[in-house]
Homo-oligomer: A and B are copies of this chain.
Amino acid sequence: MVSGRVVVEAVRPEVDGGRFPIKRVIGDAVDVEADIFADGHDVVAAHVRYRKAGTKTWDRVRMEPTGNDTFRGAFRVTQLGTYEYTVAGYIDEFASWRRDLAKKLDAHQNVAIDLIEGAVIVERTAKRAKGSDRGLLLGFAERLRGGEPDVARDTELEALMDRHFQPAHVCAYDRVFSVFVSPHQAQFAAWYEFFPRSFGGFKGAEEYLTDIAQMGFDVVYIPPVHPIGVTNRKGRNNSTEAGPDDPGSPWAIGSSDGGHTAIDPSLGTLDDFKRFMVKANACGMDIALDLAFQCSPDHPWVTEHPEWFRHRADGSIAFAENPPKRYEDIYPIDFETEDHEALWMALREVVDFWIDFGIHIFRVDNPHTKPFAFWEWLIGGVHLAHPEVMFLAEAFTRPKVMNRLAKIGFDQSVTYFTWRTSRHELQEYFTELTSPSVRDFFRPNLWPNTPDILPYHLQHAGQPTFMARFVLASTLGATYGIYGPAFELQENAPLAPGREEYLNSEKYELRDWKIEDPRNLAEFIAHVNRIRHENIALHADRSLRFHETQNDALVAYSKCSDDGSNLIVCIVNLDPDNTQGGWLHLPLEEFGIRPDEPFPVHDLLTEARYVWQGEWNFVELDPHSVPAHVLRLRHRMPKEEDFEYYA
């Protein structure tokens, strides 16, 4: 037989032709599409073939035609780690024969020979069948030979042929794609970053964990916990002269007390950290550890492995710089050192140490200043042994670099959300992030602020801005984070005009946070996080779409659960000063709502309830009250049993 009659093209989803895996979380259905066709007029059919990586045999699921030579089929990923999938198309000889026979019968053509040819196909299948099926098939063949055309339409024959089906002209796609399956948390989590040292170290900060949990956060991310260097230690506000009591930047890692596996004595001991982690876990939260692969001049590696650092022409070790910026308290690691095998292994051992300790989330500091090949090697190795471990790329850099880091293994990535403020910017950026294939490799983690960044629009801003940015981050992103208590206390003073940095940054000094301040947004944050947990539409980003508002100050978007049952529409007033109103358009038909039918709308933020009708409805938001709607739409008017809901 000549191969090559069936063509399988454009199998999707895929990232760079299969060079990188797509990302999914456990329980997801992987919807596979492909263009499949053959020469001539025969009926073409297809399967998705899939398996857990390392398994020998393929499972398969039949694909259904969706028009224009496209087929679709889905399989579910139920285990962590890597799955493989591909597509095989083939000619369905029996279906082709049945279709042609029917057409000839309709045209009153002589089908005597066709019936015999059908019998031959059935007899060939009978040879593969055993027991009673074989006899049944032979019986059908005999009736076809006897000239009974109606046999072709017999559903029992169809079922038998299907059961013993052996495809002809199978054409397997020439590539196998892979999907890396992570815990659900890789896709849906609220992060909270804070400096335990401002709360008296691990012991003192244990208490604050309860507050964080009450705000509804899922992940607590803390800056590096390791001993801080003394040489060239930075003082308050990043000054090059540190006072005697200045604690230094936690990112200047390593001192005589140890390096990347040691704990800074001012925070406590390794046991204290363990207790802190266990307490967080007991509150339903996970600890994310900072992974900053760089050293202070006092890091033990500097003397133990001077060859791991770049030496200048005068024999000194090069400190970090991005001319004209200079970071004298940090030595970058030389990933290209001759001894890179030992170096890379030592860095892997750091990660393994903390995994053994109980950490499974790492926020990686500036990954874009280290070789891509290193990360692909490191994360690949860790994921193989520990598919539950997650890495967040803190790479506030150029788009293609961010994308590459996501492709080579980072489970999550920071985003430009921090600086996207207008409706147009938000719409354009998040449409890009949720389009194929970006959505298949890039998991956004949205931060309105970080210890490094107080963006211009938060400087001197008030409650409307902080609330609006919080609602945007937490509903545009299934995963988001804030740096607190600076955020919820609406800290808004910049280091200097034109600088997007905090005055009195906690990176260089301890801060005494006034949690009891009446402006604290903790309750609002807790409320929004509760809404997030209760509405699975907000647990993923794939369904995000924007809607027209006829007012540029109002941005509107929706998210929907896979089954369509949970539908959330958010409208945010981007103007912190004025009440803004406008007509909102919703694609009712796509939402499964009839245009002539009133539908109930429930604002989960304010508990307000409306009944809307038609594709256009008016919305108005006063920023000084609540600058956003988070609306749950019901697809039908309430029935008797919904009464309580409306009480």
Q: What B residues does A400 contact at CB under 8 A?
A: 9, 35, 37, 68-69
With both chains docked as a complex, state the minimum distance between the C-beta of A556 and any C-beta of chain B, in angstroms: 29
The answer to whether B113 and A4 have CB atoms under 8 Å apart is no
Complex CA gap A312/B120 in Å reads 11
Docked-complex contact A4 and B372, CB < 8 angstroms: yes
Is A345 part of the binding interface, using a Cβ–Cβ cutoff of 8 Å?
Answer: no
Question: Does the CB pair A4–B371 fall under 8 Å?
Answer: yes
Segment at the interface with B among A100-108, A458-466, A517-525? A100-108
Question: Does any Cβ of B come within 8 Å of A7's Cβ?
Answer: yes
Are A120 and B372 in contact, with the CB atoms below 8 A? no
Contacts of A313 in B (CB 8 A): 113, 116-117, 120
Q: Of A2, A5, A69, A313, which is in contact with the most chain B CB atoms at under 10 Å from its CB?
A: A2
> Counting CB contacts under 8 A, is A244 at the interface?
no
| A116 CB → nearest B CB, Å | 4
Minimum Cβ distance to chain B for residue A594 (Å): 30
A373 touches B3 (CB 8 A): yes
Does A130 lie at the interface of the complex (its beta carbon under 8 Å from any beta carbon of B)?
Answer: no
- Interface flags for A1-41 (1: CB within 8 Å of B; 0: not) read 11111010110000011010000000000000001010111
Q: Quick check: is A354 within 8 A (CB to CB) of the other chain?
A: no
Within 8 A of B (CB), among A99-146: 99-100, 103-104, 106-107, 109, 113, 116-117, 120
Across the interface, do B401 and A69 meet the contact criterion of CB distance under 8 Å? yes
Closest to A376 in B: B4
Cβ-based interface call for A314 (8 A): yes
**Copies of chain A in the complex:** 2
Residues of B within 8 A of A336 (CB): 1-2, 5
User: Does any Cβ of B come within 8 Å of A398's Cβ?
Assistant: yes
Name which residue of chain B comes closest to A322, CB basis.
Answer: B41
Measured CB to CB, the nearest residue on chain B to A104 is B323
A404 part of interface (Cβ distance < 8 Å): yes
Q: Kindly identify, within residues 260 to 316 of chain A, every residue whose CB is under 8 Å from any CB belonging to chain B.
A: 312-314, 316
Given A69-B400, A368-B39, A398-B37, verify A107-B323 contact (CB < 8 Å): yes
Which residue among A68, A69, A174, A369 has the maximum number of chain B CB atoms within 10 Å of its CB? A69
Indicate the member of A3, A40, A374 with the most B CB atoms within 10 Å: A40
A404 to chain B, nearest CB (A): 6
Tell me the complex Cα distance, A100–B320, Å.
13
Instruction: Give bound CA distance, A10 to B35, whole Å.
Output: 22
Partner of A369, one of B35, B39, B103: B39
A5, B323: Cβ atoms closer than 8 Å: no
Separation of A371 and B39 alpha carbons in the complex (Å): 5
In the complex, A370 has a CB within 8 A of chain B: yes
Q: Does A497 reach chain B (CB closer than 8 Å)?
A: no
Q: Given A5-B371, A335-B2, are A109 and B39 neighbors across the interface (CB < 8 Å)?
A: no
Could you say which of A4, A10, A69, A312 has the most chain B C-beta atoms within 10 Å of its C-beta? A4
Output the nearest chain B residue to A119 by Cβ-Cβ distance. Answer: B313
Instruction: Contact check, A369 vs B324: say whether CB atoms are below 8 A apart.
Output: no
A103 CB contact (under 8 Å) in B10, B324, B376? B324
> What size tier do the contact residues of chain A reach?
35 or more
- Which residue of B is nearest A106, CB measured? B324
On whether A16 and B9 interact (CB within 8 A), knowing A37-B400, A399-B68, A400-B37, the answer reads: yes
Q: How far is the CA of A5 from the CA of B376 in the complex (A)?
A: 12
Given the complex, which residues of B lie within 8 Å of A7, measured CB to CB?
372, 404
A65 to chain B, nearest CB (A): 12
Measured in the bound complex, the distance between the Cα atoms of B99 and A120 in whole Å is 77
Once the chains bind, are A39 and B372 in contact (CB under 8 Å)?
A: yes
Complex Cα distance, B100 from A35, in Å, reads 50
Q: How far is the CA of A68 from the CA of B368 in the complex (A)?
A: 16
Q: Does A340 contact B (CB under 8 A)?
A: yes
- CB-CB contacts below 8 Å: A333-355 with B: 335-336, 340
CA distance A120 to B312 in the complex (A): 11
Interface residues of A in 444-468 (CB under 8 A from B): none
24 A-B residue pairs with CB within 8 Å: A1-B336, A2-B340, A4-B372, A4-B374, A7-B404, A9-B16, A19-B174, A37-B404, A39-B368, A39-B370, A39-B371, A39-B372, A40-B370, A41-B322, A68-B399, A69-B398, A69-B401, A99-B323, A103-B323, A103-B324, A104-B323, A104-B324, A113-B313, A117-B313
Q: A5-B336, A109-B323 are in contact. List 20 more A-B contacts (CB 8 A).
A: A4-B371, A4-B376, A5-B373, A7-B404, A9-B400, A9-B404, A10-B16, A17-B17, A37-B401, A39-B368, A39-B370, A39-B371, A39-B372, A41-B369, A69-B398, A99-B323, A104-B323, A113-B313, A113-B316, A117-B313
